[in-house]
Amino acid sequence: MCVMVVGLLVLGYNLKAQTTPPTGEDNLRSKALKVFIDCRYCDMDYIREQIPYVNYVRDVRVAELYILVTSQSTGSGGHEYSIFFQGLKRFKGMNDTLIYASSPDETRDRIREGRTNMMKMGIMRYVARTPLASEVKITPAEGLKKQEVKDKWNYWVFELQTEPQFDSEQSIKEISWDNSASAYKVTPDWKLEFEFNQSIDSRKYIYQDTTYLRYRSYWSYDNLMVKSLTDHWSAGVIDNVSSSSYRNIQVGFNIVPSVEYDIFPYSESTRRQLRILYGIGYQFMQYHDTTIYNKMQENLFQQQLRVAFRVQQKWGYVNVSMLASAYMHDVSKNRLSLAGALRIRIFKGFSLRLYGSVARINDQLSLVKGELNEEELLLRIRELATSYRAEGKIGIVYTFGSIYNNVVNPRFGN
C-alpha cells in the first residue's frame, strides 16, 4: 500500500510538472545551441558539467553544431586531438578546426581538461549568437608569461618498459615476461623510430598425471626511417632483426626500402587518408629446425604493397587496410590480407558497426619439417600450416526517447 501511495504521489508530481508553464529559464534553455559530439573517448559527463550552456542532442539531424574529435600519436609519445566544428541549420557554413596536443606524461584528467577547454573556445563563436551568450563569462588564466620553448632532447623521446606476470593454479602454472625499449623522433621532415621487444612465455599443465610444458621466446629489433618529400609523397626504410621459437626462426633479418603516396594531403590525415605504399626488400633467415622446403637458412627477396583508407565524417567512419606481398623467387609464395571497420548512422538513433579481417596465406616458408607431436599441437608450441585466417563481428545500436541529454547524475554509477 505504501509503495502504491508513493507511486501515485510521484506520478502526480510528474503530471503537474508536465502541465506547468515553462519559466523564463526554460524558455532560455530551449533556445540554446544544439550540439552533437562525435568522440569515442571523450568523457561526456565531464563535458556536460564544464559546458552547461548548450543542449546536447543524440541525433545529428537535429543538431546545429556537429563536433568531431579525432586523435593521432605525436612524436613525443602524446596525442594530437583535432577538433572539427561544423555549423548546421542556422549556422551552416560556419566551420572551424582547433588542435590540442597532450604530452606523454599528462594524466587522463589533465588531457580531459585541456581537450574540453579547447572545445569551449570553438563553441563560443556559436554560443555568442544565442540568447545564452549573456550567461557565459570568459576569464583568462592567471600568471600567463611568454616563454620560448627550448627542447634539450632535440625532439627525441625514450621509453623503457618491463612487465613480468605469473598465474598459478593447482594444475596450471604460467610465467611470462615482456620487455621493451624504444627511441623515436618525429618532426615535419623526419620520422625515426627504433624499438626493441622481448617476450618469454613458460607454461606447465598437469592433466591425468601427465605434465605438458610449453616454452615460447621472441625478440625483435625494429627500425623505421621516413623522409617527408612533399605534402603527398614520402620515402623511407623499414628494417628489423628478430627471433621466434614459435615461428622456427633462430635469426631473421629484413630490410624494405619503400615509397608512399597519400591521395589526400598529409595535413588532412586526421579526417581522411588514402595511403599507398610499395617496397622491395631483402630477407635473410636462419632456422632452428629444417623447414618443409629442406632449408636451414636462405636469402630471399620480397615485394609488398600496402593500401590504407580512412575517413571520419558526421555520418560515421570507415577504416580499410590491405596488404599484398610475394617472394620474388616464387610469386606463388604470397599473402593477401584485408581488414576493415565501419560505422554508419543509418537513421535517427540507429547505428551499424562492422569489423572484419581475412587473409589468404601461402608464404609460411619457416614451417618445421615433419609431423608435430600431440604436445606441440595442443599447446601451440609451433606454428601450424594454414591457408587462410578470418575474423569478424557486427554490432547494431538503436536508441530512442528524448533527444536532449544535458543532465548528469552519477549516483550508483553510469
Q: Is residue 278 part of a domain?
A: yes
Q: Is residue 380 part of a domain?
A: yes
Q: Is residue 306 part of a domain?
A: yes
- Across the beta sheet with 79-87, the strand order is 54-56, 33-38, 65-73, 79-87, 95-102
Q: Is residue 130 part of a domain?
A: yes
**Cell digits of residue 126:** 556559436
Task: Note whether 385 and 242 are same-domain residues.
Answer: yes
DSSP 175-225: EEEEEEEEEEEE-SSEEEEEEEEEEEEEEEEEETTEEEEEEEEEEEEEEEE
Which stretches in the chain have pLDDT values below 70? 1-29, 76, 140-151, 314, 348-349, 373-381, 400-414
Task: Note whether 242 and 358 are same-domain residues.
Answer: yes
Q: Is residue 151 part of a domain?
A: no
Based on the structure, what is the number of domains in the chain? 2
DSSP 321-383: EEEEEEESS-TTSEEEEEEEEEEEEEETTEEEEEEEEEEEE---TTPBSS---HHHHHHT-SP
CA distance linking residue 357 with residue 351, whole number of Å = 21
**pLDDT, position 374:** 62
**pLDDT, position 197:** 96
Expressed as residue numbers, the domain containing 257 is 229-398
DSSP helix/strand/coil, 74? coil
Please state the pTM of the whole predicted model.
0.63
φ, ψ for residue 231, nearest 5 deg: -75, -5
> Tens digits of per-residue pLDDT, 217-243?
999 999 999 999 999 999 999 999 999
Q: Is residue 209 part of a domain?
A: no
Q: Is residue 185 part of a domain?
A: no
**pLDDT, position 322:** 95
